[in-house]
Amino acid sequence: MNAQLLVDGHHELGEGVLWCDRSQSVFWTDIHASRLWNHDPQTGLTRSWGMPERLCCYAFTADPQQLLIGLESRLAFFNLSTGTIAPICRIEDDLPSTRLNDGRCDRQGRFVFGTLNEDPGRAPIASFYRLNTDLTLERLSLPSIAISNSICFSLDGKLMYHCDSMAGKIMVCDYDTASGAVSGQRVFADVAQPGGPDGSTIDAEGYLWNAQWGGARVVRYAPDGRIDRVVAIPTSQPSCVAFGGAQFDTLYVTTAHEGMSAEQRAADPQAGALFAVALAGVRGLPEVRFAG
C-alpha cells in the first residue's frame, strides 16, 4: 500500500477530495488559492477553475455540470461548463473570524457541513449545519467547535461522524435519517499523537478512513473505533481522503504545506501534492449527490 504521487500541485491547503463516478475523475480544492481542481487518471489531464473566494467544500448534484459549493462565506451552485455561480445563502455573517470548512452529503442527499474559527485563539465558536433538499438551512444541535472536520455517515445513515480537529478526537452521534436530528454524541476514536484528525470517509464495510494532519498517515478505524490499519503518506500533512477508480479500490489523499517554514518545505518537498494508494481487498462507495 505505497502512496504514489499523482499531481504535484504544491497546494498550500489541498482539501476536500472527491471521486466523480460519472466522469471517472478526481476533484479537490486548494482552499487558500480559491481553486477547484480535477484530474483524469486515464488521460492524465489536469484542469482547474478559479473561485471568487476560498472554496472550502462541495458536493456533486444530479446535473453532471453543477456542483453545490461551500465558499468561505456562503453556499452556492457552480456550473463547471459556464463558470456561473448561483447564490443560495450566506453563513455566519455575525462571526467575522469564521469560514466554512468540511462538508459531505448524508445518505439522504442533504449537505452537512461545518465552519472553522480562523482567529489565532481558536475559540470554539464554529458550528455544524445542514442544507436540506428544499434549500433551507439549519444548525445541528452539536456543541460548538473550533475546526470542523471528519464529517461522514455510517452505511445505514444512522450515525454521523465528525470532529473538532483541535480536540484530537473523532466523535460519533446518532443521526435520525428522517428528521436529521442528532443526539448522543460520544467519542469514536482518540487520535494519538503525532497527528490530529482531518477529513474522513466510509468504505463499503463501514470502516472509517481518516487523514491525520501532522501524522503523515491515513488510519482505517473499525466500526468499534479500534485501529484496523495505517497507511503511510510521504508528506507530513494529509488533509482528506476519498475512494475512487473504476472499482473504488484507490484511495486518493490530499495534502498541504500550510504553516510550514521554508526549511520544513525544503525537507518535505511533496507537501501539497495529491496522492493515490492502490488497495487490496477494500472498496469504497460512490459519493452521495446533493438531492436538492
What pLDDT score was predicted for residue 197?
98
User: Which has the closest alpha carbon to 182: 231, 127, 120, 255?
Assistant: 127
Contact 292, 130 (CB under 8 A): no
Q: In this structure, what C-alpha cell is assigned to residue 118?
A: 480562523
DSSP letter at 287?
A: P
pTM score: 0.97
DSSP letter at 141?
A: S
CB atoms within 10 A of CB 185: 15
Contact 49, 80 (CB under 8 A): yes
What pLDDT score was predicted for residue 192?
80
What pLDDT score was predicted for residue 115?
98
Cα distance between residue 19 and residue 39, in whole Å: 10
What pLDDT score was predicted for residue 195?
86
What pLDDT score was predicted for residue 193?
77
pLDDT per residue as tens, the chain (292 positions): 799 999 999 999 999 999 999 999 999 999 999 999 999 999 999 999 999 999 999 999 999 999 999 999 999 999 999 999 999 999 999 999 999 999 999 999 999 999 999 999 999 999 999 999 999 999 999 999 999 999 999 999 999 999 999 999 999 999 999 999 999 999 999 998 788 999 999 999 999 999 999 999 999 999 999 999 999 999 999 999 999 999 999 999 999 999 999 999 999 999 999 999 999 999 999 999 999 9
Contact 172, 159 (CB under 8 A): yes
Q: In this structure, what C-alpha cell is assigned to residue 115?
A: 465552519
- The percent helix, strand, coil of the chain (3-state, each to 5) is 5, 50, 45
Does the bond joining 194 to the residue before it have cis omega, within 30 degrees of 0? yes
Q: Within its chain, how far is the Cα of 28 from the centroid? A: 9
